[in-house]
A and B are shown apart, each in its own frame.
Chain A
Amino acid sequence: MKELSKIEEILLVAIWRLRDQAYGVRIRQHVSGVLGKEFTYGNLYSALHQLTAKKFIRPATGLAAPSRRGRPRVFYTITPEGREALQSARELNAKLWLGFPAFALDKDKIG
């Protein structure tokens, strides 16, 4: 199982959350919101390609939309491997922070 980079993890979570609305615009807006800063399409698509190559997500072309001047949306769905990767990433995060209270960080900063 390949390791997920942080940005890939964020994207996978975003796609999973957005479900049938997981296409470029929505993913970007969601991720920008999570990060609290503009996330560019360049970074978005290069990460999406990596995830596609790792077979964690699968692209599917949707119907043409009028607001896109006739261009179809490309929707992404998570594959079983992608789900597994998310699962293990979550477990890894949990293990990483296990028994470590959230305020400890703030205390350290003060101290």
Chain B
Amino acid sequence: MNRAPLRPPRIPAGLLRLAAREEDRFAVLGDFDEEYAELAEKIGRAGAARWFWLQGLRTAPRLLGDYLYWRIVMFKNYLKVALRNIRKQKAYAFINIAGWAVGMTVCILILLWVRQELSFDRFHPNADRIFRLTLDAFLGAPQNAPVAPTPAAPALVREFPEIQAATRIADPRPTYVWNEAREFRVDRMAAADASFFRIFGFPFLAGDPETALARPYTMVLTESTSRKIFGTEPALGKFLKGEDGKSYAVTGVIKDIPRTSHLTFDILRSFETLVVADRATAENWFAISNFAYVLLDKRADPAALEAKFPAFIDKYMGSVLKSIGGSLTLKLQPLRRIHLYSNFALDIAPQGDISSVLLFSGIALLVLLIASINFINLSTARSSTRAKEVGLRKTLGADRGRLMAQFLGESVLYSLLAMVLAVGLHFAGLRLFENIIGRPLETNVFKIPWMIPAMFGLALVVGLAAGLYPAGVLSSFQAARVLKGKGRIGGGVFFRRILVVTQFAICVALIISTLVISRQIQFVKNQRLGFDKDQVLVIPRLTPALRQSFDSVRAELMNLPGVLEVGASSLVPGRGIARSVFFPEGFDATESQLMDILSVDTHFLPALGIRIAAGRNFSPELATDRTDSVLINQTAARRFGWADPVGKRFVVPPDSGAPTQYLNVIGVVEDFHITSLHQKLEPMILFDNRDGARFVSVRLQPAGLSGTLALIKKTWTRLNPGNPFDSFFLDDVFDSQYRADERMKDMTRQFGGLAVLIGCLGLFGMASFTVERRTREIGIRKVLGSSVTGIVRMLSKETVLLVLAANAVAAPAAYFLMNLWLKGFAYREPLSVWVFIFAALMSIGIALVTISTQSIRAARGKPADAIRYE
């Protein structure tokens, strides 16, 4: 064989090279070459080539199969080692996986919610051409609300060709309807013009969207309302009786309104109904209480249209506005901005808020960042304890690639396990989260197609990142160095400290916020309200018919045992306010005063325990009390500078030509809060006017409450056959004004708990790392006579300092934010320094408990174990 070896055919040789395992490649190809050369000698090159082709083609698939088989065997081996590791370090594995999973869960939940918030009102086909009218007005008082003068909507369509359609919507409110004799409560009944369904894309199940609301006394129901009232029978063409006693035809059924609609209703009746019932109001430009929405042409420019509004307003309202010295500006608010960018005191429904969306997104990002860094950190810290294992493996011949694969595979496995756990946890968390945000969430991760792949990608990336450090650094260690104990990880201490400080700062800020918020809620609930909210039952449905016979109704109720007093009023505390402008005598005609109005009967003040500060209450004997006498509150007296208000007067602006009339102040009531303590007490004027009353307040004896309640219900139903009995306790309704605040408290508390959990994980990672790093130092100290407590103290010092630093960062931030939040209350508990001290002590306590397992274990270890490797 002294000739140069022959080159075998390329194609089968290439095939073999691809199919063979890397370890075999030389052996297999060499064997082929050798045999090919032999055959070429014996039977010639053509025969040898044929053999090579045949043999190569038969061999390649088998080699490939073999390759794959061994791959799987290897993978199974890695998996086995990884799972064995988890089992060996249960606590560590649990903490690490659970921490990362909780972080991911929080992030998922927030992401779902943010996505829902951002998708509001986008389902309408014309969403970007729909606008709501809002106004900025001064009519004796500044007014900024998403409402428009009632005749404005039809007038706009008439005057501006770029407005294709406009609809008015009357405030949705709870009511009752009757199907034959059966009564149904409806939570939200609104009214809208016929063009409503041309503007909004609510899909019809029955009826014609074009004409459904064209005629008076017609109604469109949602699917579930229809099912509630008519069951499975078709609702279309049926009739329902309304609270006004009129019969309404059902002209349409629409699909239930998506949660992501800011406009919601159960029944929509035609606005024509309201026009027919009260044409004067419908045509009054100063009846400003209905909402209005317009649909613009595709080419219309909303800004240009808005610029034409002043002339439009001037045309219809100019002269009156001038005479009262008022002003009114109409604006267009894009539909898609209503949910997140509205900030009106009064709105068609409570809206979301872009700042909370941003805040939550920030929190989600922060939680994700911290949780992932913790995961990476804890994995790294743990792996440093395995430096010796790595050294040993290397001496035994493990190559670097294998070690890297092992570390990477392990951390990726942990991360993926955490992801699976997070998907499970998020289902459990959905309900909890709904409670926190006070809104239903209609989705979960499986309803969003990109969610699972995105989470998988994230888990993979974080898993790889967590494995990268140990894989890269540890596997590169020289075995000898590692075994001598020199291969410890030293870097990143500063980074770890920053991380711990950041995490604890968040914890501390949340602890402070929780404390401040609960204290404030406690404060407003304990504040003297000026009336006694306990044991007052309110019946909110005093109908006109009942008002006629109220004297006898009241007498019947008063006769019941356990009933102390019964009074009627237009409003009760916690159920909104009514305001108007008054002219106290002695002030300039232009200095009108905005006052809360309350119509009461003579028994209302005693029923609520509101005291008279000066003068007298209205008297049933004096007829003049019902015509020209009023009570005011102390705030009003102070505001007008009336030291002795009894006998003072208000001027009633006369109709043209008539003589001036006066309202005489006959008494002053002590200030009482008709609104929550978010709002300041305003001047109030009270009239003796039972015709304005809608609420009946019944003061009860504390004993035998439920029995009394049943008696009242029975009496009420007997006196008002056909009318449903409805009631609530005054304190419940009044306290429900703080529901948003309570929710805020829950939120900070729950996020605070989470933050503490995650922060402790970070601290735990750092502590175990520190202890590991200082094992030998501790051993030597013990040999030299340190006590266990001394060493625990030494190890705790760093932690305490870090937590103190966290407090130093968090306290000013929390102070600033909480001050901002407290500004929402007119009456507030001042921030106390004790809150900050308590939060600091609590955070230090939590931190010390967290690291105690590590430090005590280290301090109690035998010094011989600690220093034997040297």
Contacts and interface: CB of A to CB of B under 8 A. Distances in A.
A binds B: yes
A68 B5 contact: yes
Contacts of B38: 25, 67
B59 A41 contact: yes
A25 B65 contact: no
A64 to B, nearest CB: 9
B33 A71 contact: yes
A68 B55 contact: no
A41 B70 contact: no
A33 to B, nearest CB: 14
Interface residues of B, number: 28
Interface in B8-55: 20, 24, 26-35, 37-38, 55
A29 B39 CA distance: 12
User: Looking at B5, B27, B60, B61, which has the most chain A CB atoms within 10 Å of its CB?
Assistant: B27
Interface stretch (A43-51, A82-90, A100-108): A43-51
Contact of A68 (B30, B59, B69): B30
Given A25-B35, A71-B33, A46 B66 contact: yes
A91 B400 CA distance: 44
B634 to A, nearest CB: 95
Interface residues of A, number: 22
B346 interface: no
Interface in A50-80: 65-69, 71-74
A65 B26 CA distance: 11
B35 A42 contact: no
A38 interface: yes
A49 B26 CA distance: 15
B55 A41 contact: yes
B24 A69 contact: no
Contacts of B279: none
Tell me the interface secondary structure of chain B in the complex.
helix
B1 interface: yes
Contact of B5 (A23, A45, A66): A66
A23 B31 contact: yes
Contacts of A69: 5, 7, 30, 33
Contact of A46 (B34, B55, B62): B62
Contacts of B20: 45
A109 B37 CA distance: 44
A24 B1 contact: no
B58 A40 contact: yes
A71 B55 CA distance: 19
A42 B61 CA distance: 8
Contacts of A25: 31, 34-35, 38
A30 interface: no
Contacts of B69: 46
Nearest to B54: A38
B70 A24 contact: no
B709 interface: no
B60 A42 contact: yes
B65 A24 contact: no
Contacts of B37: 67
Contact of B31 (A24, A46, A66): A24
A73 B848 CA distance: 64
A89 B449 CA distance: 58
User: Looking at A23, A46, A65, which has the most chain B CB atoms within 10 Å of its CB?
Assistant: A46
A42 B59 contact: yes
B804 interface: no
Contacts of A46: 62-63, 65-66, 69
A72 B29 CA distance: 10
Given A23-B31, A24-B28, A68-B34, A42 B63 contact: yes
A43 B31 contact: no
A66 B38 CA distance: 12
Contact of A45 (B1, B24, B26): B24
Interface in B621-644: none
Given A42-B66, A45-B24, A65-B34, A71 B60 contact: no
Interface string A10-49: 0000000000000111001100000000101111011001
A41 B220 CA distance: 80
A94 B62 CA distance: 33
Contacts of A74: 26-27, 30
Contacts of B1: 66-67
User: Looking at A23, A46, A67, A74, which has the most chain B CB atoms within 10 Å of its CB?
Assistant: A67
Contacts of A24: 27-28, 30-31
A49 B20 CA distance: 12
Contacts of A67: 1, 5, 33-34, 37-38
Contacts of B59: 40-42
A67 B20 CA distance: 20
Contact of A72 (B30, B58, B63, B65): B30
B62 A42 contact: yes
A7 to B, nearest CB: 13
A14 B60 CA distance: 23
Contact of A40 (B24, B26, B29, B62): B62
Contacts of B55: 38, 40-41
Nearest to B65: A46
Contacts of A29: 35
Nearest to B59: A42
B77 to A, nearest CB: 11
B29 A71 contact: yes
A71 B35 CA distance: 13
A26 B31 CA distance: 9
A42 B34 contact: no
Interface in B57-87: 58-63, 65-66, 69-70
B33 A68 contact: yes
Nearest to B32: A41
A45 B28 contact: yes
B813 to A, nearest CB: 62
B63 A45 contact: yes
A49 B32 CA distance: 18
Contacts of A71: 26-27, 29-30, 33
Contacts of B35: 25, 28-29
Nearest to B29: A71
B572 to A, nearest CB: 85
A8 B58 CA distance: 20
A92 to B, nearest CB: 27
Contacts of B65: 46
A72 B5 CA distance: 14
Contacts of A49: 66, 70
A68 B1 CA distance: 11
Nearest to B56: A41
Contacts of A73: 27, 30-31, 34
B302 to A, nearest CB: 74
Contacts of B29: 68, 71
Contacts of A68: 5, 29-31, 33-34
A72 B31 CA distance: 9
A65 B29 CA distance: 12
A45 B58 CA distance: 13
Interface in B832-867: none
A11 to B, nearest CB: 14
Interface of B: 1, 5, 7, 20, 24, 26-35, 37-38, 55, 58-63, 65-66, 69-70
13 contacts: A23-B31, A41-B59, A42-B58, A42-B61, A46-B65, A46-B69, A67-B5, A67-B34, A68-B31, A71-B33, A72-B30, A73-B31, A74-B30
5 tightest A-B CB contacts, nearest first: A42-B62, A71-B30, A24-B31, A68-B30, A42-B59
Given A24-B28, A74-B26, 20 more contacts: A25-B31, A28-B31, A40-B59, A40-B62, A41-B55, A42-B58, A42-B61, A42-B62, A42-B66, A45-B27, A46-B66, A66-B5, A67-B5, A68-B31, A69-B7, A71-B26, A71-B30, A72-B27, A73-B31, A74-B30
Interface of A: 23-25, 28-29, 38, 40-43, 45-46, 49, 65-69, 71-74
